Amino acid sequence: MGDFENSPNDKSGVITADEYKEKANAFFKEQQYDKAIEYYSKAIELDPKNAIYYSNRSFAYLKTEAFGFALADATKAVELQKSYTKAYYRRATAYMALGKFKLALRDYEAVHKACPNDKDARLKYNECNKLVKKLAFEKAIAVNEVKKSVVDSINFDSITIEEDYSGPALEDGKVTEKFIKDLLATYKQQGKLHRKYAYKILFDVKSYFMEQPSLIDVTIEDNEKFTVCGDIHGQFYDLMNIFELNGLPSPTNPYLFNGDFVDRGSFSVECIFTLFSFKLLYPEKFFMSRGNHESHTMNQMYGFEGEVRSKYTAQMADLFTEVYNWLPLAHCLNKRVLVMHGGLFAKDGVKLDDIRSIDRNRQPPEEGLMCDLLWSDPQNAEGRAPSKRGVGIQFGPDVTKAFIEENGLDYIVRSHEVKSEGYEVAHNEKCITVFSAPNYCDTMGNKGAFITLRGKDMKPKFTSYTAVPHPDIKPMAYANPLLSLIA
């Protein structure tokens, strides 16, 4: 039920609409999803009562992670054609992507009832039903017990290191340059860090982040080069390529990684332990912001939790959730450039001190400052609009201008969106997007990019690069099977 559909050319006026749809289908097959959306939209303009057009466009929106728009289109298709099972599938997938599992279950149930002999429909219904029951059980337990940290439940000293282990080793319990060198070499050969060292890194990095504010002020010296990277999404070999191109992090080569280190790519464990190790080695010269994928719901759906369970334990997956809750939400560079993963806010008048005072030790809420920092996107139109993602908002050039003027900033940098060149300069050069995962999910064909700037003038310089080969493990290999439509 994952394919898009063709509709018959049997009504006056529909032929032209169908021609648009055929062009859209061709763009979809070539993975040019934005073009597909454009042509499905033209078909809808000419024939706004055709459920297939909305359903096909919903599918394209799913591919571009515009889950809010995908949800709206699938709902419209259902309204136009109550028996249209593909539309229910697409709406369920959008609900799953947004973490609205009960609503997804309702749609999977509708498909299962309409197609009782369809094995895929039955599988998806059963999987979603299990997930909803599991979450309800966990919620019931949580009400009746005081939530203990995973750190308190692990007897670290009892974890033994086997005699035949020859991988990277912490020195006196600390990350060193040698440890990181050995770690990177091990990961490149698809080796594994011992769970004892993995737990120690997580304990230590959690303790460090707990002491940090929600907004970190970063000082960059006049002639110091500073690098900002966007989403990595578990693409470890592309992360290594960044270090090849731009040098390893060091006291003289500082970096900021701007969220979404994990999920989708199937080397997320390697990415996050690499980044956390650099954070512990160079805490004042290596920075990490939280992204919308550093959250329990996203990790549950998009592969990180499954990958941690596969390579380590379910307990470690829970510990990652605790660590992510303490990641800073934004960084201010030389009091001139604000860097956050998503974007600006649903209301005017937000000050940097408002960001500093956010209570971030929690799962991202569905609205408010923390939500907007992690989820929002820029738009070309003035003002604000509901988000294409179904979470956060879209903000225009006037919103950016007002925010930077009110806070005495030069511009903002954010990530969160695939860009063909790996970056985009928008809003009269006041809003920059940087995305560092090239050929995202092995399908998008985009370049990755990073930004370098110097403290003297804070002018951004962009470096784009293409994807490098990686071992034959597909993206989303550890993801929830219910997301197979958008894998």
SS3 411: strand
Comparing C-alpha atoms, which of 3, 16, 27 is closest to residue 50?
16
| Rounded Cα–Cα distance for residues 423 and 432 (Å) | 7
Residues 271-289 as b or e (16 or more Cβ within 10 Å = b) = bbbbbbbbbbbbeebbbbb
Which residue's structure tokens are 């009782």? Answer: 116
Tokens standing for 73?
Answer: 């289109």
Q: Can you point out the beta strands (E) in 254-368?
A: 255-257, 286-288, 330-333, 337-340
Beta strand pairing status for 393-395 and 337-340?
unpaired
Which residue's structure tokens are 């466009």? Answer: 57
Q: Phi first, then psi: what are they for 171, rounded to 5°?
A: -110, 115
For 329-340, give the secondary structure using H, E and C. Answer: CEEEECCCEEEE
| Rounded Cα–Cα distance for residues 111 and 485 (Å) | 15
SS3 452: strand
Q: Is 293 a catalytic residue?
A: yes
SS3 73: helix
Question: Which entry of 194, 293, 296, 341 is annotated as an active-site residue?
Answer: 293
Query: Which residue numbers in the chain have pLDDT < 70?
Result: 1-15, 142-146, 484-487
| Rounded Cα–Cα distance for residues 470 and 424 (Å) | 26
Instruction: Say how many Å lie between the first and final Cα of the chain, rounded.
Output: 14
Q: Phi first, then psi: what are they for 63, rounded to 5°?
A: -65, -30
Give residue 81's pLDDT: 96
CB atoms within 10 A of CB 252: 9
Whole-model pTM: value is 0.92
Give residue 118's pLDDT: 87
Domains along the chain with CATH numbers: 14-141 (1.25.40.10), 158-486 (3.60.21.10)
Give residue 146's pLDDT: 61
Give residue 14's pLDDT: 43
Residues 135-144 as b or e (16 or more Cβ within 10 Å = b) = eeeeeeeeee
| Rounded Cα–Cα distance for residues 222 and 151 (Å) | 41
Contact between 44 and 54 under an 8 Å Cβ cutoff? The reply is yes
Amino acid at 110: A
Give residue 4's pLDDT: 62
Q: CB-hemisphere CA count at 13 Å for 278?
A: 23
C-alpha distance from residue 415 to each of 305, 371, 425 (Å): 22, 15, 11
218 sits in which H/E element: strand 215-218
